[in-house]
Structure 1
Amino acid sequence: MDSKKACIPIKTLPESARPRERLIEYGANSLPTYELLAIILRSGGKYGSAIQLAHKLLNHFEDLYQLKMAATEELLAIEGIGQAKAVELQAIFEFSKRLHQARLMKLGTIHSSQEAGDYYLSELADSHQEKVLVFYLNTKNEVIKKQIIFIGGLNMSVAHPREIYKEAVRVSAARIMVGHNHPSGNPEPSPEDIEFTKRLKEAGKIIGIELLDHLVVGHSSFISLREQGLL
């Protein structure tokens, strides 16, 4: 179909179908990729609306990464993309990259079990519920993400490594560090803790993600299973 003939300006759509209004009403995470891209593009032109232009871009490139890596000349070759829109797209992608870098800097780099243990103490020592907190790391031991995986009456003998490694694969982590607290205040690893650590280590070997350490946190101290020779 000729995009010029099929052009339907966004302002003529009902409010419930307009990307900007939908974002305001439902939040950015509820919008599909093409609507987010349409908001960034802001307007279309004689070659179609911003929504149609967004679809055209997404259909042209294999995935978002290819769109991000596109040279200015490649963007300009697409009908409806002029210098201004090409520059706006490149600025958005660069901003996203810098935001990611800033997040890594904020979360920091894990240099030792002691450093990680100090963080786990500050995060978990006062909790009345048992929690498992995982650091997902890249090859430089920079923290990509930290996430509490389990909360509540956790029995480490039945906790499954699958939940931990599923997220590790999703964020492309090279290594993980795991910590959990004992609400009793005693950081001494239980037999269940030791068994869970062994299962976690073996599962990591299978998928190529290294378990750096498992730390057990009490009220005022922690124990590293690696330093205890249990990992």
Structure 2
Amino acid sequence: MTILDWPESERPREKLLQRGAAALSDAELLAIFLRTGVRGSTAVDLARTLIRQFGGLRSLLAADQTEFCATHGLGGAKYAQLQAVLEMARRHFSEQLLRGDALSSPQAAGDYLRMQLRDRNREIFAAVFLDSQHRTVAYQELAEGTIDGAAVYPREVVKAALRHNAVAVILAHNHPSGVAEPSAADRALTQRLQQALATIDVRVLDHLVVGDGPPTSFAERGWI
């Protein structure tokens, strides 16, 4: 039996159009992306197999090209399509952030930073630079390190703030381990950056640590 033999209300594409994308399971969403299955398996069957094989949809989306293309039912064309979809999602969040007020919309800032940093296998230190109205001017990745650290130099952050003519900044970095608990070194670095940026009248509004769950906010913990 093919998907076309299923009741219309159970077909992933028709279900999405009738009820919205949020109503679909991970396998159903992936099946729409795959479009076709393989011999003896529908697209939904293949999607379920892939999700089990990779240990979840997130791991599948984060797979590198070699791992992805070595999997039965996938290949270079699908990998290219997937990367295009992921990049469109990143740019969508970026445009939302650039149009909005990052301070009054912490959810948008958090979602965008998770999209940018959560699945990186090295620690990345980044910043969202803001103007005098706390509107987003730019997002910039300022340092890339190893799996458990990145060297961040206050002078480079100051130079970037001056280049973007920023008045305020939201700092962010990821923990590839998935645990978003700030370390003592994270807190010490934040204090050094606050002091350095204060010399050019740039205020640090928050520092977000990105892991598997919601980002941890220094501001919410009263550390900024």
Aligned counterpart for 1:218 among listed residues 211, 216, 221: 211
Match in the other structure for 1:198: 191
1:166 pairs with 2:159: yes
What is the number of residues matched between the two proteins?
Answer: 128
Deviation digits for residues 33-58 of structure 1, max 9, x if unmatched?
A: xxxxxxxxxxxxxxxxxxxxxxxxxx
Alignment of 1:103-142 (within 5 A): 107-109=98-100, 110=102, 111-142=104-135
CA distance 1:194–1:144, change in 2 (3 Å): same
**For 1:194 and 1:224, how far apart are their aligned partners in 2?**
11
Larger Rg: 1
Deviation digits for residues 33-88 of structure 1, max 9, x if unmatched?
A: xxxxxxxxxxxxxxxxxxxxxxxxxxxxxxxxxxxxxxxxxxxxxxxxxxxxxxxx
How much is the aligned-residue C-alpha RMSD, in angstroms? 2.0
Structure 1 residue runs without a partner (length 5+): 1-102
Percent of aligned positions with the same letter in both sequences?
Answer: 35
Amino acid at match of 2:99: G
1:179 pairs with 2:172: yes
Deviation digits for residues 133-164 of structure 1, max 9, x if unmatched?
A: 211110111111111111122746x5221111
CA distance 1:155–1:105, change in 2 (3 Å): closer
**TM-score, with length taken from structure 2:** 0.53
CA distance 1:194–1:140, change in 2 (3 Å): same
Structure 2 residue matching 1:176: 3-state secondary structure: strand
Structure 2 residue runs without a partner (length 5+): 1-93
Displaced runs of 4+ in structure 1, greater than 3 A?
Answer: 103-106
**For 1:208 and 1:161, how far apart are their aligned partners in 2?**
14
**TM-score, with length taken from structure 1:** 0.51
State the shift of 1:112 in Å.
Answer: 3.7
- Decide whether the 8 Å contact of 1:155 with 1:192 is kept in 2: no
CA distance 1:210–1:104, change in 2 (3 Å): farther
Alignment of 1:1-231 (within 5 A): 107-109=98-100, 110=102, 111-153=104-146, 155=149, 159-231=152-224
State the shift of 1:106 in Å.
Answer: 6.9
